[in-house]
Structure 1
Amino acid sequence: MRARLKSHWFLISLGLIFAIGFFASEALTPLLELTTLRSAIVFAVMGSMGITLPAQSVRQSLRKPLPTLLAIAINIVVVPMMCWPMRAYLPAPIFGGLFVASLVPCTLASAAVWTRKAGGNESIALMTTVVTNLACIAVVPIGVALVLAKTTELSVTDQVWNLTWVVIIPIVLAQTMRMAGLAEWADRQKLRLSFLAQLGILSMVGFGSIASAMVVREAMQENASLFGLQIGQLFVSVAMLHVAALVFGVFAARVVRADRESQIAVGIAGSQKTLTIGLQIAIDCGVSVIPMMMYHFTQLVIDTMIASYWSDASKSKTNSNEEISESLRKGV
């Protein structure tokens, strides 16, 4: 029991934090006005994860750049395009939140972790993470301006400025610190830095749950049964979006004749989205944060199962090859 709690503490904490923020939202609403605190938390999370990204991954992925470019294109372009048709049946605030989730970059930690667990090419996942996070200062404002202009009052200039401060600067600063001699220290402290980053994400979940409660109260007052149906539709849509992007990535990598390890990396890194930036953007834009949280939870559950399946398949293939080699050796 203790081992299971230790293994799943983040998901359990995420649920508890969301419940507390949601049901105590009326008392906690003033916290939403602390925009500087929210930005500082995102800055700290991005910095603590950015300093653990090894620079040699860039060199490795540049040797065969096509799978990495494919993963980046899927994350930046294909996922938002897949999300676009869902506006036909999702209400504006919920679709706005889901579209924000589709725009934000690849997650800094779990994409590489899940790729490694599945037996994929970790350097592709890491490179996709770096590029999509750096590119988000253009991708997110442009996407929001094109699709959600009527939903949000946040200007493109404000979005670019905010994302530069909470994404670009901490990542660049963190990588500069690695090159200045802190790489070994960061590698030794990777678990602690990851834990601190997770605490920061949980804090952002708290802010997001408070904002969600306000949206839910308004929707429930209008039509409670309809809102329940919309949440069900959203859950199905989120799962479909993530799985579709992952499957598209795997088959697209197969089409360009990438090896199995690269196919896995393209599928996972192309489809994963970061919770931290997504919550920040959703709150700033005034759209529902529920889709972003649902996407994050769904990708963790689905990718855990898929990564385990791929890992078992790799081990089985390896054992089979070893048995064949041993048989041939004995036959010789």
Structure 2
Amino acid sequence: MRARLKSHWFLISLVLVFLIGFFASESLTPLLEMTTLRSAIVFVVMGSMGITLPAESVRQSLRKPLPTLLAIVINILVVPLMCWPMRAYLPAPIFGGLFVAALVPCTLASAAVWTRKAGGNESIALMTTVVTNLACIAVVPTGVALVLAKTTQLSVVDQVWNLTWVVVIPIVLAQTLRIAGLANWADQQKLRLSFLAQLGILSMVGFGSIASAMVVRDAMQQNASLFGIQIGQLLVSVAMLHVAAFALGVFAARAVRADRSCQIAVGIAGSQKTLTIGLQIAIDCGVSVIPMLMYHFTQLVIDTVIASRWSDASKFKTKSNVVTSNRS
């Protein structure tokens, strides 16, 4: 029991933090006005994860760039395009939140971990993470301006400025510190830095849950049954979006004759989205944060199951090869 709790402490904490923020939202609402605090938390999370990204992964992915390019294109362009038709049946605030989730970059926290667990090419996942996070200062404001202009009053300039400060600068600063001689220290402190980043993510979930409670209260007062139907539609939409992007990544990599490890990496890195930046953007834009939270939980559950199956399949294949080799 203790081992299981230790293994799943982050998911359990996510649920607890969300419930506390949701049900205590009336007293915690003033926290949403602390924009500097939220930005500082995102800065620390991005810096903590950024300093652990090895430069060697960039060199490895550049030797065979096509799978990495596939993952980047799917993450940046294809996922938002697949999300677009969902505006036909989702209410504007919920669709806005889902579109923000589709726009934000690949997650720093789990893409490489899940890829490694599944037996995939970790360098592709890491390179996709770096590129999509750096590119988000152009991708997110452009997407918001084109699709959500009527939903949000946040200007493109403000979005670019905010994302530069909380995403680009901490990643560049972190990589500069690695080059300056902190690479060994960062590698030795990887678990602690990851834990610090996870605490930051939990803090952002707290902000998101407070904002969610406000949205839910308003929707429930208007039409509780309709809101329940909309949440059900959202859950199905989120699962479909993630699975479709995941499958597209695998089959696209297979179509260009990439090996199995690359197929796994493209599927995972192309479909995963970062919770930290997504919540920050959703709150700033005034759209629902529920889709971002739901997307994050969904990708964790789905990718955990898929990665575990791939890992078991790899172990079984390895074991079979050993047995065959011994017999011969």
Normalised TM-score (structure 1):
0.98
Aligned-partner SS, 1:220: helix
**Gapped runs of 5+ residues in structure 1?**
none
Shift of the alpha carbon at 1:324?
2.3
Backbone CA RMSD of aligned residues? 0.6
Residues 17-73 of structure 1: CA distance to partner in whole angstroms, max 9, x if unpaired?
111111111111111110000000000000000000000000000000000000000
Residue aligning to 1:105: 105
Matched, 1:116 2:116: yes
- Cα distance in structure 1, aligned partners of 2:7 and 2:254: 33
Aligned length: 328
Residues 253-295 of structure 1: CA distance to partner in whole angstroms, max 9, x if unpaired?
0000000000000000000000000000000000000100110
Residue aligning to 2:225: 225
- Cα distance in structure 1, aligned partners of 2:276 and 2:319: 40
Shift of the alpha carbon at 1:3?
1.1
- Cα distance in structure 1, aligned partners of 2:261 and 2:21: 41
Paired letter, 1:73: V
- Cα distance in structure 2, aligned partners of 1:149 and 1:183: 42
Structure 1, 184-193 or 310-319: larger mean CA deviation: 310-319
Paired letter, 2:303: D
Shift of the alpha carbon at 1:301?
0.6
Residue aligning to 2:93: 93
Residue aligning to 1:308: 308
Residue aligning to 1:325: 325
Shift of the alpha carbon at 1:321?
1.9
**Gapped runs of 5+ residues in structure 2?**
none
Residue aligning to 1:59: 59
Residue aligning to 1:74: 74
- Cα distance in structure 2, aligned partners of 1:20 and 1:115: 32
Residues 225-255 of structure 1: CA distance to partner in whole angstroms, max 9, x if unpaired?
0001111111111111101100000000000
Paired letter, 1:301: V
Shift of the alpha carbon at 1:322?
2.1
Paired letter, 1:209: S
Residue aligning to 2:167: 167
Residue aligning to 2:275: 275
Residue aligning to 2:132: 132
Normalised TM-score (structure 2):
0.99
Paired letter, 2:5: L
Percent identical among aligned pairs is 88
Paired letter, 2:308: S
Matches within 5 A, 1:262-301: 262-301=262-301
- Cα distance in structure 2, aligned partners of 1:302 and 1:208: 22
- Cα distance in structure 1, aligned partners of 2:109 and 2:153: 31
Residue aligning to 2:42: 42
